[in-house]
Structure 1
Amino acid sequence: MNRLEALLLLGLLLCLSGCTHGVHRLPYDSWRLGLFAPNYMEVWIESADAVDVQERVFRRAMSGIAAISTPKNLKGNPRGWPKEPGSGAGKQVLGADLPRLLYVRWQSLVEPQTYEAYIVIPEATRQAMVVGEKAFCRADAKWITDYRDMLSIGLAPGGVARVWLMGACLPALDV
């Protein structure tokens, strides 16, 4: 092996070892961040940012209008949270490892008032995100192995923020 070949081989090895630095250890490609508001409560999200366990910041992982439900015939109760929260309006957070911190700044259009929340994701929640669970999926009537790969944040008047962890076919867990 001549000197040029050795240098090319060394360069190739360095390039390949550099590619493994950013690889995350999740059993899925990305996790989802969703936001919603209680019945009749409109919310505008200025920014929802995420910080993963490797201290990488994902700015504006979500912004815009939060999901809101309007019950039939306007007969819903505006108080409290739904028994089965949905995933909310959101986006996939691509390239992120497990979340460590979420920051949300939003405007409650009901009051009007601007709020912000720093949400620390507990270790137990992160561990639940990587455990596969057997679940019956009503969408296609099949048993699958599902992961809790969705964080859903409810934003309410008064600056209240509440977080749930869920999977597509798994019930929501209160964070």
Structure 2
Amino acid sequence: MTRRYFWLSLLLISAGGCAHGTGNHLPYDAWRLGFLAPSYMEVWIETADAVDVHDRVKRRAMSGVAAILTPPGNIGDPSGWPEQPGVGAGKRVIGISLPRLIYVRWQSLAEPQTYEAYIPITAETREQMVKAETAYCRGRSEPITDYRKALTIGLAPGGITKAWIMGPCLPPIEVARVEGEVVKLGPSLGQSDGRYAFALKPESKAYIEQYGIPFGSW
């Protein structure tokens, strides 16, 4: 059975159970899934699906644009990943437990190209996500108990993904790096006649025309 057919079978089997939150046993009511992209390297997320430790599936846990900076005048730097990435654009994932797998399919508008990636979330990562830690938040004199309940995924040209976990007042920890594959059907699984979601912003277009795409830096 190919990976794609396995994934489709899992979606069909698990679809009936993804709306219920029983058996989650988390110290918080939901974890968060967010996405970001390097400066000027705009992306459109067609779907991001999460499979939890009980094989329940949350389809389209996230879709749409990823968080990105596109400053005018080419003053941004898309090379590499930031040391302190933000949580990204995303949503709280309600109704399932912690993830063991994230599937994401996205349009890399800078190239343009369409990719998909399967990002495994290890047991060690999940342990870190429910570990209570003492944290000091900016603007507060007293410490709080915080959790790394935000899973953030960076999407870069070439199909590169990188994942971190972080908390509101806890620094990020890198937990995965996966190189995705080209989706041969193209954008929207071939249902858009090859058209991508939208054109690049003028600032992104200007940067790429002058400096190109820094492949290999992610």
SS of equivalent residue, structure 1 residue 142: coil
User: Superposition pairs for residues 110-121 of structure 1, below 5 Å?
Assistant: 110-121=110-121
Q: Deviations over 1:13-58 (max 9, x none)?
A: xxxxxxx982311000000000010111100000000000010000
Within 5 A, what are the aligned runs for 1:40-119?
Answer: 40-71=40-71, 74-119=74-119
Question: 2:151 matched to which residue of 1?
Answer: 151
Contact 2:33/2:150 (<8 A) preserved? yes
Higher strand share: 1
In the superposition, relative to structure 1, how do residues 155 and 23 fare at CA in structure 2: closer, same or farther (>3 Å)? same
| Structure 1 runs not aligned, ≥5 long | 1-19
CA distance in 2, matches of 1:25, 1:34: 22
2:69 and 2:76 in contact (8 A); partners too: no
Counterpart Cα distance in 2 of 1:170 and 1:138: 11
SS at match of 1:124: helix
Is the aligned partner of 1:126 residue 2:126?
yes
CA distance in 2, matches of 1:85, 1:168: 12
Comparing 69-78 with 136-145, greater Cα deviation is found at 69-78
Work out the number of aligned pairs and report it. 156
Alpha carbons of structure 1 residues 141 and 109: separation in structure 2 relative to 1, 3 Å: farther
**Quick check: 42-51 or 90-99, which moved more?**
90-99
Compute the TM-score of the two structures, normalised by the length of structure 1. Answer: 0.85
Identical aligned residues as a percent: 63
Q: Distance in 1 between matches of 2:62 and 2:167?
A: 19
Larger radius of gyration: 1
Following TM superposition, by how much is the alpha carbon of 1:71 offset from its aligned partner in structure 2, in angstroms?
4.6
1:74 and 1:142 map into 2 onto residues whose CA distance is 41
**TM-score, normalisation: structure 2:** 0.69
Q: Secondary structure at the match of 2:136?
A: strand
SS in 1 for 2:126: helix
CA distance in 1, matches of 2:38, 2:56: 31
